[in-house]
Amino acid sequence: MSSLGAIILILATLLAAVFVIMWVTKIANAQRDAIITGVQQGVPLSAKHRWLIFSNDWIAAKYSMAGLSLILGFSYMRLGQGASGADVELVAFLCAGFAAFSALFLLVLGTSDLIFCVSALRQTKQD
């Protein structure tokens, strides 16, 4: 594969990953809003159902995005290490850095949302 082809492939996978992460973020945020407000699509949710959404859906959605970013970052690092040209190596390492930063950002935001959701869910048990 030519250097240009490898660069295009690397950037295409990064672009696809960005769209997947944005899509899953939208889903996770809708789930978070349902957990916090206790309403999903206009239907009130019981505290038990809110805990179920939190533990089975929201946590998986939120942290799978960070996992995807870590896997991509590792893959880009491996591509950069085995690259035949300096330009492919540079693009691969830049994408690996972007993926690593994205994973860190998603973990920090996920943890702050996690704390907020647990706090809101504990208050519903007290009410």
* Predicted confidence (pLDDT) at residue 1 exceeds the cutoff of 80: no
What is the reported pLDDT for 85?
85
pLDDT digits 0-9 by tens, 44-76: 999 999 999 999 999 999 899 999 999 999 999
How many domains in the chain? 1
In a domain, 98, yes or no: yes
User: Domain for residue 40, yes or no?
Assistant: no
* 19 pLDDT more than 70: yes
Residue 116 is assigned to a structural domain of this protein? yes
Which domain does 120 fall in, by range?
3-35+45-126
98, 28 in Cβ contact below 8 A?
A: no
Q: How far is CA 76 from CA 16, 22, 57, in A?
A: 14, 20, 29
pLDDT band at 3 (very low <50, low <70, confident <90, very high): confident
pLDDT at res. 6: 84
Residue 65 lies in a domain: yes
The helix-helix angle for 59-81 and 3-37 (nearest 10°) equals: 170
Is residue 126 over pLDDT 70? no
Q: Which amino acid is at 10?
A: I
Q: What is the mean pLDDT of residues 78-102?
A: 90
What average pLDDT score do residues 10-30 get?
A: 93
Q: Is residue 67 part of a domain?
A: yes
pLDDT greater at residue 31 or residue 4: 31
Q: Give yes or no for residue 127 having a pLDDT over 60.
A: no
